[in-house]
Amino acid sequence: MEEYTPDTFKPLLAKLVKTPEYFAPDDLRRALEHLFIPDAAHPTQIGAFLTAMHIKQVERRPETLAAASSVLRARAIKVAIEDDNKDFVVDIVGTGGDGHDTFNVSTTAAVVAAGAGARVVKHGSVASTSKSGSADLLERLECLFVAPTAGTTMHIPRIPFTFILAPHYHPALSVIAPYRKLLPFRTLFNMIGPLTNPACPRGMVLGVAERDLGLPFAKSLCDSHVERALVVCGAEGLDEISCAGDTWVWELKDGNITETTLHPTHFGLRTHPLKSVSGGTALQNAETFKALLTSGSEIPNELTPALEFVLMNASALLVVAGIASDYKDGVRLAMESVTSGAAWKALEAFREAGRAAMAKVEREEK
């Protein structure tokens, strides 16, 4: 059995600092095992490791992203998705850190796509750099997140939309959380968050805030056996498909990656400045979410920018899911999901599943 101590971690750290070009995925896997095992690395070593990964830009390599995310998924709470062999499970998520603090578009788009027929298992958390993260929004919409028990398998029912609260499923990250919080930069673990969905979706729309990260993330998704994906970066440094203008796109399909550019006109939609889709608090965003999905065809005109922002991103997810034939067809299906109330019903199904799961836990505790 391999030993993990500060002394065995030292040569790995030395290799990373002195010859980062030779720091291989297997080195990274061994290093991460040291981080996740209590007392296997000294706090000074942990800080030095995270800093070196950042400064030497090793954390930006496709093979690093794929290796690190595989280690985290292996340590995550296991997930069993009901009838996953019958559905093409998808996720839409961003790396965060773009600084634009827009409305919760990926979460809303996920629900809209679910209402249009996609099987969405979204992976997310509370706000880190914005006022309202995906979990914050859903909590304001009265959704419950039942924490799985360590060593068990969490069963995901066959409903259109499900949300996995990342901290509940990645207990390993709690070990290094105090060190990450003390560092003045985003670390490797912020980078790989979108790659660690324990549901292992077959399709993804993944947003990055830097153009240089597009191809590495697309390659890492390919290495992680994702079948179809769009890695997107708005030209403003936005980790979503932008409603304001161009979006750089890396499309993964059949093991091949193609780089292209999207614009709102490809969706049959107009451009809107990012300031028109600014986010607010979780409560304010929840009110916007509800107005978008419960107004039928009478959506207030002032919400048109937010609506079209959501439609574009939902359309992309529907294309990845194989439900929409192209982006304009995706917008049509997404709009039907909104105006028919199907999107809101998808949210209600998730909310009811959460309440039922919580009631079961409470009964078992009595």
Return the structure tokens found at 50.
């995270």
> What's the pTM?
0.94
What's the confidence (pLDDT) of residue 163? 97
DSSP 80: E
pLDDT band at 87 (very low <50, low <70, confident <90, very high): very high
- Given 3-state DSSP classes, what are the helix, strand and coil percentages for the chain, each rounded to the nearest 5? 50, 15, 35
Sign of CA dihedral 282, 288, 292, 293: positive
Residue 25 has pLDDT above 70, yes or no: yes
C-beta neighbour count of 260 within 10 angstroms: 11
pLDDT band at 2 (very low <50, low <70, confident <90, very high): confident
123/126 Cα distance (integer angstroms): 11
Residue 360 has pLDDT above 60, yes or no: yes
Residue 169 has pLDDT above 90, yes or no: yes
Q: Which of 86, 96, 115, 113 is nearest to 349 (CA)?
A: 115
pLDDT band at 115 (very low <50, low <70, confident <90, very high): very high
Give the helix ranges, DSSP H, for the chain. 6-18, 25-36, 43-55, 62-75, 105-115, 134-140, 166-169, 173-181, 188-192, 214-223, 282-294, 304-320, 327-340, 342-365
Torsion angles phi and psi, residue 344, rounded to 5? -65, -35
Please report where in the chains the tokens 């709009």 appear, as a residue.
Answer: 335
pLDDT band at 344 (very low <50, low <70, confident <90, very high): very high
Write out pLDDT tens, residues 265-307.
Answer: 999 999 999 999 998 999 999 999 999 999 999 999 999 999 9
What's the confidence (pLDDT) of residue 129? 57
132/106 Cα distance (integer angstroms): 12
What's the confidence (pLDDT) of residue 130? 62
Average pLDDT over residues 201-218: 96
Residue 98 has pLDDT above 90, yes or no: no
Question: Whats the size of the chain, residue-wise?
Answer: 366
pLDDT band at 255 (very low <50, low <70, confident <90, very high): very high
232/212 Cα distance (integer angstroms): 11
Residue 131 has pLDDT above 90, yes or no: no
150/169 Cα distance (integer angstroms): 9
Residue 80 has pLDDT above 90, yes or no: yes
